[in-house]
Structure 1
Amino acid sequence: MATEPLLRALARMRGHLLDPETLVRAVASGAQRGAQREGRVPTVAGRPVRRVELRYVDLRAGRHLQVTSYDDTQAHTTNVAAGDDAKVAVDDLLDEPFGSWHVDTTTQTHQVRATKKLEATTHTQDRATPVEAERGHDKAKQRLLAEDDPVLRALGISDAQGRIKPTRQAKYRQVEEFLRLLDAAIGDALAKGQLRTPTEADPLRVVDLGCGNAYLTFAAHRYLSAVRGLPVRVTGVDVKQQSADHNAGVAASLGIEADFVVGTIGDAELAQAPDVVLALHACDTATDDALARAIAWESALVLAAPCCHHDVAAQLRKVPTPAPYAMLTRHGILRERFADTLTDALRAAILRLQGYRVDVVEFVESEHTPRNTLLRATRTGTPVTGGRVRQEYDDLVTTWGVHPHLAGLLDGPRG
């Protein structure tokens, strides 16, 4: 890891970005901390963006630089001809106050993170084996993990020919979108200094709570290590010994060093506190168990996609509905959906009270899974002991007469 002037580091990245033969993919994400304090955020075509991806594609008109920018709701893609047009597009992006750049070439990976002093911490790693850049314009090929990736084959998502199995299309889509959100969150947290920069001696520690067959565990390891070039150590936690044995066998077949711990989410013992906590579709209050562990560990980043929400729904059936909201709970289906919303709103509020910045987003379209809400939390500082957030939380639980399981696990914040 080296430190140098930011402009010098970006000038070096410019050379890689403008090389249509060797650039595989580049990602700019987050905002520089100084720019945030001044109220400035990266923009593309006048739109605020949180992330931009670049790669070269071959069209009928020749090779073009494809620029895909992501705002809070959707992606916008433009193609500019390689050469002078690409230079203009790249220079415009380098002028924006992005917090980090990750640049993959056929032979190296480069990571540049802007500091608050407008310096850059940079890391370059040679690939053990050169890779070939994908230049196809077919959007189906623009995946974070290719369909024929060995991890997807080992997990049974792809067949022996490297094609996604028809019965696993939804699972593949979930993994892809979860990785996309994980990548953006890690890039943003690194750029803001909220997540420590991992090293080979002290890799990024990622735990998947309630891992089951470890789809996320292996996919996260593969993407973060092979694509982003980050040193990473993953751990999967599941209550079943059978799952741990199966997952250990998969890891051995892939040559991955990973840990699999048998135990409940609430009681599993880890050698070291994780930097990143993942929990995909932990059932009912198991999501609360995962969030409570992450808070206790003071993990820098948490991504949790809840499953069913029985606990608060059961409480709502036992208490009178406050006026004038009787119509929200009169019909069973509406009461269940409201309970889902109320549960996740309370979880988000508790995380904020515990010192996390929280976003509640849709991580995959509803046709792939109805359980598509994701809580993305980044640790920013000390817990909140009062103020508007605390008052809103107290008012909400008092009005509805519910007691969130997560609050009980933390012995507060209701006090």
Structure 2
Amino acid sequence: MMDNSVVYNTFFDHLRTSLSNETFAKLTLAKTIGNTQLLNIYVKPVKLKQELKLSLTYHFQTQDKVENYDIEEGIEVLKSYINNPFLSAILFTTQADIALKLNKKRVATIIESKPTFTQSVAQTHDQPKKRLIEADKANYLMHLGIVDEKGQVIKSMADKYRQINKYIEIIEGLVKNAAISKEDFQVIDMGSGKGYLTFALYDYLVNNLGINATVIGIELRKELVDLCNSIAQKCGFKNLHFVSERIENYKTEKIDLLIALHACDTATDDALYKGISAGAQLIVCAPCCHKQIRKQLHCSTELTPVLKHGIFEERQAEMLTDGLRSLLLESQGYKSKVFEFISNEHTRKNVMIVGSKMKDNKNQRTVKAQIDQLKLAYGIKEQQLETLLINNGFYNV
């Protein structure tokens, strides 16, 4: 019978070989014994300062921890976890799957099988991720300070570039699933700011999807409006315009897609109302600030003792505000969806609310009862979107 240490060395020789000939795909330690919070260890190669390292992700029940090691140091660390607490290690390469297993008597064996993966980590990393908005082909990104003159993303703007592409990815799916006309499609972006997302949206709708779209950005700060209109002219975006106006004062009879990203506090409600009253097919908003509800919050539920903490009260106000907005959209014949827009490592203001217009509106009474119940439980007397809908005859008290 082969000694376990010989088996271990053979297994990790396979690891060394897969790293050197770039056939490595994945390595996982699994099947624990004993009382341990550590569930798995996931291994991948990384280059740090041009030197190849082993990156170990320790997967615990409640968190993950990542440590990077030199190759040989990492192998010694992995060996220390074999049989304590892991009974299995599986190395996936493009040539074979190689499993190190210990039986009930703690005898180690190696089993080889056909490869699961056809591409190695190196091959996968060599293929750049396809972006809907390509940095070197969108000259407005240069004017907006996202890329340099060579079309390379500026390091400090990398998060913004990822956000732009994630946003367009979401909009693409919504537009393709909605019954919209490609001949006369009007988009109103309320609170367009410097226009990062507005420019990308116009570019994608017109130049990628072939939609005859008019996009109007509404922004109070005139200096930003002037800047964006200047860039739109330089880029030849003839149906992209920016207007200096307060959201609540802007008037239009036609909206097919209403966008409101990070409009502050009740400005989000003003924007949502504009979309509802114009019968927009799609409404997309990412709320910012929730002061109106927080000021009124008076909880009469089991949560009362914990809401004395400001951070919990703030989060509760956010959830209630956006929950009510979602329900109010449903009361007006929209199918609502709430999800995370981008990772909260970049910003906590990452909730997106989407409303898609449906053909009928049969559940207003049921939704109204849910809204009234929430308001009663949390002492909410007024919510801006509901007030606008009531005052303008869209919503019966």
Q: Secondary structure at the match of 1:234?
A: strand
Distance in 1 (CA, whole Å) between partners of 2:371 and 2:127 is 43
Which residue does the alignment assign to 2:275? 294
Q: Give unmatched runs, 5+ long, in structure 1.
A: 1-60, 62-77, 82-135, 190-194
Deviation digits for residues 333-391 of structure 1, max 9, x if unmatched? 00001110111000000000011000101111111211110001111134456443222
Percent identity for Structure 1 against Structure 2: 33
Check if 1:247 corresponds to 2:228: yes
Is residue 2:174 matched to residue 1:174? no
Shift of 1:197: 2.1
1:393 Cα deviation after fit: 1.3
Cα 1:302–1:400 change in 2 (3 A) is: same
Q: Distance in 2 between matches of 1:244 and 1:386?
A: 39
Match of 1:388?
Answer: 366
Matched residue type, 2:249:
D
Find the residue that maps to 2:242 and give its secondary structure.
strand
- In the alignment, is the contact (CA less than 8 A) between 2:301 and 2:377 conserved in 1? no
Post-superposition shift, 1:269? 2.6
Q: 1:222 offset after TM fit, Å?
A: 0.7
- Assess if the C-alpha contact under 8 Å between 1:329 and 1:335 holds in 2: yes
Equivalent runs, 1:9-408 vs 2, <5 Å? 138=126, 140-148=128-136, 149-189=138-178, 195-199=179-183, 202=184, 204-257=185-238, 258-270=240-252, 272-316=253-297, 319=298, 321-384=299-362, 386-402=364-380, 403-408=382-387
The TM-score normalised by the length of structure 1 is 0.62
Quick one: distance in 2 between partners of 1:139 and 1:289?
Answer: 44
SS of 2:263's equivalent? coil
Q: Which moves more between the two structures, 221-230 or 346-355? A: 221-230
Give me the whole-angstrom Cα distance separating, in 2, the residues matched to 1:387 and 1:346.
15
What residue identity is the alignment partner of 2:273? A
Structure possessing the higher relative contact order (Cα contacts under 8 Å, 6 or more residues apart): 1
Contact residue 284 and residue 307 of structure 1 kept, 8 A:
yes
Q: In the alignment, residue 340 of structure 1 is paired with which amino acid?
A: E
Partner deviation per Cα, 1:34-55 (whole Å, 9 max, x = no partner): xxxxxxxxxxxxxxxxxxxxxx
Where does the alignment leave 5 or more consecutive residues of structure 2 unmatched?
Answer: 1-93, 95-115
Q: Could you tell me how far apart the structure 2 residues matched to 1:386 and 1:279 are?
A: 24
1:410 aligns with 2:394: no
Query: What amino acid is aligned across from residue 353 of structure 2 in structure 1?
Result: L
CA distance in 2, matches of 1:80, 1:387: 55
Contact 2:330 2:364 in 1 (8 A): no
Distance verdict in 2 for CA 1:414–1:219, change over 3 Å: same
Matched AA of 1:262:
S
| Pair 1:289–1:138, CA change in 2 (3 A) | farther
Give the alignment's TM-score, normalised by structure 2: 0.65
CA-CA distance at 1:141 after TM superposition? 3.1
| Offset of residue 234 of structure 1 | 0.7
**Deviations 1:243-291 (Å, cap 9, x if unpaired)?**
2211110101101112222211111133x51210111111111111110
Amino acid at match of 2:263: A
Q: CA-to-partner distance for each residue in 1:131-179, whole Å, 9 max, x for gaps?
A: xxxxx97564311111222121121111112111122122112211111
Q: Number of residues paired by the alignment?
A: 274
Residue type matched to 1:379 in 2? K
Contact 2:332 2:364 in 1 (8 A): no
In 1, Cα distance between equivalents of 2:219 and 2:301: 42
Point out 4+ residue stretches in structure 1 off by more than 6 angstroms: 78-81
Is the 1:150–1:254 contact (alpha carbons within 8 Å) kept by the matching residues of 2? yes
Does the residue aligned with 1:226 lie in a helix, a strand or coil?
helix
CA distance in structure 1 between the partners assigned to 2:362 and 2:163 by the alignment: 33
What's the secondary structure of 1:392's corresponding residue?
A: helix
Q: For residues 252 and 178 of structure 1, what CA distance do their matches in structure 2 show?
A: 23
- When the two chains are superposed, the root-mean-square deviation of aligned CA atoms in Å is 2.3
C-alpha separation in 1, matches of 2:166 and 2:230: 26
Three-state SS of the structure 2 residue aligned to 1:359 is strand
Secondary structure of the 2:314 match is helix
Q: Hey, what's the Cα distance between the residues in 2 that align with 1:382 and 1:411?
A: 20
Contact 1:170–1:369 (Cα < 8 Å) also in 2: no
User: How far did residue 226 of structure 1 move?
Assistant: 1.5
1:54-93 Cα deviation digits (max 9, x unpaired): xxxxxxx9xxxxxxxxxxxxxxxx9999xxxxxxxxxxxx
Distance 1:386 1:375, change over 3 A: closer
Task: Tell me by how many angstroms 1:414 deviates.
Answer: 6.1
Could you tell me whether the CA contact under 8 Å between 2:187 and 2:257 is conserved in 1? yes
Cα separation, partners in 2 of 1:79 and 1:310, compared to 1, 3 Å? farther
